[in-house]
Amino acid sequence: AQSVTQLDSHVSVSEGTPVLLRCNYSSSYSPSLFWYVQHPNKGLQLLLKYTSAATLVKGINGFEAEFKKSETSFHLTKPSAHMSDAAEYFCVVSSTNFGNEKLTFGTGTRLTIIP
């Protein structure tokens, strides 16, 4: 069984300040982890992925995430928020079991950027 917990449903930061979106996961298998972003009325876009290589993963638009096995966490960070970062962010865990790829989504964190 696998699950994802996004610890904050809403996060508000001022433009130019750091962003931290928290995610904890649980997985019976060696997981792959992802962050997806969804802008209003748009589909989901892959921000970054962890697939058992480097634990610090860099993604698009200046985002990065660190895989910490001991803490079962995969928090998303960005040094300086931009107005265009306002969106919903989903932490996702994936496991492949007998060739079946299963994604489990967190409930999402809505990021608001204050001008």
Partner 1 sequence: DSGVTQTPKHLITATGQRVTLRCSPRSGDLSVYWYQQSLDQGLQFLIQYYNGEERAKGNILERFSAQQFPDLHSELNLSSLELGDSALYFCASSGQGAHEQFFGPGTRLTVL
Applying CB under 8 A, does 46 fall inside the site for partner 1? Answer: yes
Q: Shortest distance, CB of residue 34 to partner 1, whole angstroms?
A: 6
**Segment near partner 1 (CB under 8 A); pick from 12-20, 42-50, 68-76, 78-86:** 42-50
Contact call for residue 5 and partner 1 (CB under 8 A): no
Task: Rule CB under 8 A: say whether 100 interacts with partner 1.
Answer: yes
For position 103 contacting partner 1 by CB under 8 A, the verdict is yes
Residue among 42 and 58 whose Cβ is closer to partner 1: 42
Asked if 80 interacts with partner 1 (CB under 8 A), we say no
By CB under 8 A, residue 1 contacts partner 1: no
22-26 CB contacts, 8 Å cutoff, 24+ apart = 22/73, 22/75, 22/109, 23/73, 23/74, 23/75, 23/76, 23/91, 23/106, 24/71, 24/72, 24/73, 24/74, 25/72, 25/73, 25/74, 25/91, 25/93, 26/1, 26/2, 26/72, 26/93
CB nearer partner 1, residue 101 or residue 115: 101
